[in-house]
Chains A and B, each alone.
Chain A
Amino acid sequence: MIVDPLPVAWRFDAIGTSWRVDTRHPLPPAVADAVTARVERFDRDWSRFRDDSLVAEIARTPGRYRLPADAPPLLDHYRELFDATAGRVSPLVGRALAALGYDAAYRLRPAAHIPAVPAWDDAIAWDGEYLEVVRPVVLDIGAAGKGYLVDLVSDLLTDADIPEHIVDGSGDLRTRGVPMRIALEHPLDPAKAVGIAELSDGAFCASATTRRAWGDGLHHVLDAATGMPTRGVIATWVLAPTALLADGLATALFLDPDPEFVARSATAFARMRVDGSLEVSPGFPGEVFA
């Protein structure tokens, strides 16, 4: 049984998935409009699925680009993920993902040739304001971008004097002051849960390779070191102070991240391997159905 902790839910579709914002009172129209505009701006800047985005412009023309004001936390976290996974999480997987079939048209058929993922320092340089692109690259912020947008929307609500809320970008969730019990959905059976996570302030992100999959071994989490979809781990769940961190770590946990980095960034985590075994970090808040 699912019991909503707050009485009002506002649902909308954005950046290719369903969103939901829960509050105690209906959002003032001006705040709802601001949320919609914020999400649209993020999509116009960062989406590799639309021709008019900044990412699409960068993909067409290498050069020096001043990135939007929201870029530093995202790219700085990406660099941390890149370093903590020995380069296996990278924002430069866009071209390889598209070639594998995960492109704007949802072609979902792998091309004959899958391009190698460029090494970060060979292709781009980021100084905190400008991105220098020396080789054609297709940025893909799929590893942490949606979580970051959840944070940005949550910050917007907080600034609008709505301190108590839940922002749920479908798999990436941030709660502020609202106690929640979140079922850990079984990656192979959406009617089942493998456990329950509890949190009242912070972020919860889940990732699974069984959902956005389009063929045997083809899914959306790419190992930048091999250019191939990851193997071994099929689902991850992460609790962290922000959805940016939780989302990025949920991706990194498919790729054996540095445990010190994980311990520093995440509050707790769990992951399921392809054999059905579940690994849970010490002190996981909630329960696991072992």
Chain B
Amino acid sequence: MTSTPAPRLVAVGFAGLGLTAALAGCATTASGAQGDAGVNPDADTSAEYADGTYTAQGDYVSPAGPSKITVEITLTDDLVTDVVVTPLATEGNSVQFQGQFADGIATVVTGKDIDTLAVSRVGGSSLTSGGFADAVEKIKAEALVS
């Protein structure tokens, strides 16, 4: 399949980013974070890590008061294959939101064909401008060559 190299290459790029940014994030914002938060991007990267999912918790103080996040990193062959950052709301926003949304609808939707609807506009995210779309296409093309 000629199309497989592109997503894989991009995923590898993300992997390096994930390790650096997630751990740097802990190092700069967390006090009392558990785990290997001291890694810096210039460090020796020859070490091998066991595959698996690693979780660290970080504390940071925002204007709204102390907050916690958990960072869960999945390592496969020394590459970060997934990063999940979860705010831990034991009080306040997220918990209240659960209650608020419980009054609404929470279900999996498949949607309807827009052609079949009588509407005056379609509201999605920003249409990608020519420059952005061109740049994405260029990256895909380069990924295929290499």
Residues of chain A whose beta carbon lies under 8 Å from any beta carbon of chain B: 1-5, 13, 16-18, 82-88, 100, 105-110, 112-114, 116, 120-121, 146, 166, 168-173, 179-187, 189-197, 204-212, 214-218, 223, 225-228, 231, 235, 237, 256-260, 263, 270, 272, 275-282, 284, 288-290
Q: Is the CB of A275 within 8 A of B108?
A: yes
Of the residues B25, B64, B114, B118, contact of A87 by C-beta under 8 Å: B64
Q: Is the CB of B21 within 8 A of A227?
A: yes
Shortest distance from the beta carbon of A50 to any chain B beta carbon, whole Å:
12
Q: Is the CB of A192 within 8 A of B123?
A: no
Between B7, B100, B116, B124, the greatest number of chain A beta carbons within 10 A of the residue's beta carbon is seen for: B124
Q: Is the CB of B132 within 8 A of A114?
A: no
Can you spell out 9 A-B residue pairs with CB atoms less than 8 angstroms apart?
A: A1-B117, A86-B64, A86-B93, A194-B111, A212-B125, A215-B13, A256-B89, A259-B100, A279-B104
Type the 1/0 row for B89-123, where 1 means its CB is closer than 8 Å to any CB of A.
10011101100110111111111111111111111
Q: Can you name 4 extra interface pairs (CB under 8 A) apart from A190-B122, A206-B124, A214-B136? A: A86-B67, A205-B123, A225-B60, A277-B108
For chain B, the bracket of interface size reads 35 or more
Shortest distance from the beta carbon of A275 to any chain B beta carbon, whole Å:
7
Q: Is the CB of A226 within 8 A of B22?
A: yes
Contacts between the two chains (Cβ within 8 Å), count: 262
Q: How distant is the Cα of A116 from the Cα of B23 in the complex, in angstroms? A: 11
Between B20, B71, B121, B122, the greatest number of chain A beta carbons within 10 A of the residue's beta carbon is seen for: B121
Q: How distant is the Cα of A272 from the Cα of B14 in the complex, in angstroms? A: 24
Q: Which of B11-69 contact A (CB under 8 A)?
A: 11, 13-14, 16-18, 20-22, 24-25, 28-29, 41, 60, 62-65, 67, 69
Residues of B with C-beta under 8 A to A110: 13-14, 16-17
Q: Which of B116-146 contact A (CB under 8 A)?
A: 116-129, 131-132, 134-136, 139
Q: Is the CB of B139 within 8 A of A187?
A: no
Residues of A with C-beta under 8 A to B135: 105-108, 214
Between B10, B83, B107, B119, the greatest number of chain A beta carbons within 10 A of the residue's beta carbon is seen for: B119
Residues of chain B whose beta carbon lies under 8 Å from any beta carbon of chain A: 7, 10-11, 13-14, 16-18, 20-22, 24-25, 28-29, 41, 60, 62-65, 67, 69, 71, 83-85, 87, 89, 92-94, 96-97, 100-101, 103-129, 131-132, 134-136, 139
Shortest distance from the beta carbon of A270 to any chain B beta carbon, whole Å:
8
Q: Is the CB of A170 within 8 A of B115?
A: no
Shortest distance from the beta carbon of A211 to any chain B beta carbon, whole Å:
4
Of the residues B101, B114, B119, B125, contact of A281 by C-beta under 8 Å: B101
Q: Is the CB of A231 within 8 A of B85?
A: yes
